[in-house]
Structure 1
């Protein structure tokens, strides 16, 4: 066992054009004031870092980490969620996901995918230059439009989608292996890797690639009505990152898991700020601690109701109060009778 690191904060939902969210110096200082010890950084956020430079220059990365440290936080991981999404996009989503890519690439899926792969590769290299051994990403999706089996799916359709998904990610994962970096895929609806079964289908096609890991976020599991505690038992060896995000699921006579095309605030399942939802974080932190999870507990704020700055401030305290400082002794050590092999054998009725 070991004491988990944290609290950390994922900056993706906070970076913007207004102070203190518009620069690396200001946002890291703000995060520290909120009570965070680390920040998880979206690698595509140009206001926070220059990914091209970070992928090429250890000196630049040292400066970036040094400025954060001077403000009181460490860089926990880099995230390539947005770029990973574009590694695999079904044509039905081309127009919606074009907004994730540079303007010049919009309307050109092939160029957009090549750019995305390059961005993920650069995020791997930047992570290595920062001395980080893991990063986050989405997998993208080719089979997602066919999630529900009606009309009946043609034989081999899903298999072909996962064959292609694995083929696109294998060279990326091989590069990650060469740099000593795990890619932690956030298991997330909208991605082909959205639960344990789909993650296993992916791994099988990658020959159980050692660098393909999971980003564990129980909020997505609760909204799918998946057993998020048993998931920890099943995938203990594959969980490399942890997003601390809450959610609630309150089905009604009108809607359930699918949400009836309603806005987030009106869905039966919705994300909530930490402590306002239904996720059993005491059990999660206990299991992760017992497993020896060696990563950060990183708050990802998403809530249909609460202001993000309030959610961030409360989230830091929530995680700090849930991190279990591992004991260095057994609670009954005071009653220890010492070690005596001869006495042990006598107590068992064995010859001494």
Structure 2
């Protein structure tokens, strides 16, 4: 049975333990941890922060659905929007790429500590001067190291595709998974990303059967080729009945995590209204 979770990336005006407690208060079975500033930016996330997180999880009786390591904005003191995924695992610069590989390993460490089944990872965009084929070579080098580390910790890595990234749709992520050929690599399937790219979301889910490490939920206005802006479920054009039917069809029994980082000023409203809209499906 699918269970609902909510990402702490909506609660960036609160510290991580408080975000966990607030999400639990809204009835969610799981919580996704933002592996970035201001929650768990790993160069600054020490033993004290870990212990406070574990205390909040234990006191709230809530499971961790995923560690979201898509971004590393804490790397910058004043990051421009173009740096959202940088440094990425596809960087031609070896030192920058290795920094991100190590960062992802720290996300895997946290996943092991909190019993999260998975870590999600975005590929980033090829920077000017880097051909897509060269970026794919860098991606494979990064994944070889990351997956070896993940397997040892019994954690799955879910590539989250997104329009305009190196891996931006269902076909590309499934081709990558097949090419790599390791069971620990899968897809963290964001339904809004599939919709904005122009895919049939239910068909994306069915095509990904057996490879889904986690699901991100949000609504999108405009349907296929709509604007990539995460809305509270029920406020856009996605058909969540079809989405959950497709998850049932493939026997998916993991977490579906609501990701509403677009509501930092009212995360409690977003969490409450999303739960009220989605609980009928689970």
**TM-score normalised per structure 1:** 0.67
Take 1:115 and 1:160, find their aligned partners in 2: how far apart are those partners? 18
Take 1:13 and 1:236, find their aligned partners in 2: how far apart are those partners? 28
Q: Which runs of 5+ in 1 are unaligned?
A: 87-92, 102-108, 147-156, 252-256, 258-266, 324-352
The answer on 1:76 being equivalent to 2:65 is yes
Take 1:287 and 1:242, find their aligned partners in 2: how far apart are those partners? 12
Per the TM alignment, residue 186 of structure 1 is displaced from its structure 2 partner at its CA by 1.2
Take 1:60 and 1:14, find their aligned partners in 2: how far apart are those partners? 16
The answer on 1:314 being equivalent to 2:257 is no
1:44 is matched with which residue: 24, 36, 54?
36
Take 1:238 and 1:229, find their aligned partners in 2: how far apart are those partners? 15
2:110 is matched with which residue: 117, 122, 126?
126
Take 2:262 and 2:41, find their aligned partners in 1: how far apart are those partners? 29
Take 2:146 and 2:60, find their aligned partners in 1: how far apart are those partners? 33
| RMSD across aligned positions (CA) | 3.5
- Aligned residue-pair number: 273
Take 1:128 and 1:11, find their aligned partners in 2: how far apart are those partners? 18
**TM-score normalised per structure 2:** 0.82
**Cα separation, partners in 2 of 1:113 and 1:268, compared to 1, 3 Å:** closer
Take 2:100 and 2:133, find their aligned partners in 1: how far apart are those partners? 23
The answer on 1:10 being equivalent to 2:2 is no
Per the TM alignment, residue 320 of structure 1 is displaced from its structure 2 partner at its CA by 1.6
2:244–2:281 contact (8 Å) kept in structure 1: yes
The answer on 1:220 being equivalent to 2:193 is yes
The list of structure 1 runs, each at least 4 consecutive aligned residues, that deviate by more than 6 angstroms after superposition, is 52-55, 143-146
1:172 is matched with which residue: 143, 146, 149?
146
Aligned residue for 1:282? 241
Take 1:242 and 1:40, find their aligned partners in 2: how far apart are those partners? 11
1:182 is matched with which residue: 137, 156, 160?
156
**Cα separation, partners in 2 of 1:237 and 1:132, compared to 1, 3 Å:** same
1:35–1:317 contact (8 Å) kept in structure 2: no
The answer on 1:198 being equivalent to 2:172 is yes
* Deviations 1:114-155, CA, capped at 9 Å, x for gaps: 322111011112212222221111122327999xxxxxxxxx
Describe how 1:16-95 pairs up with structure 2 within 5 A.
16=13, 21=14, 23-45=15-37, 47-49=38-40, 51=42, 64-83=53-72
- Which protein has the larger Cα radius of gyration, Structure 1 or Structure 2? 1
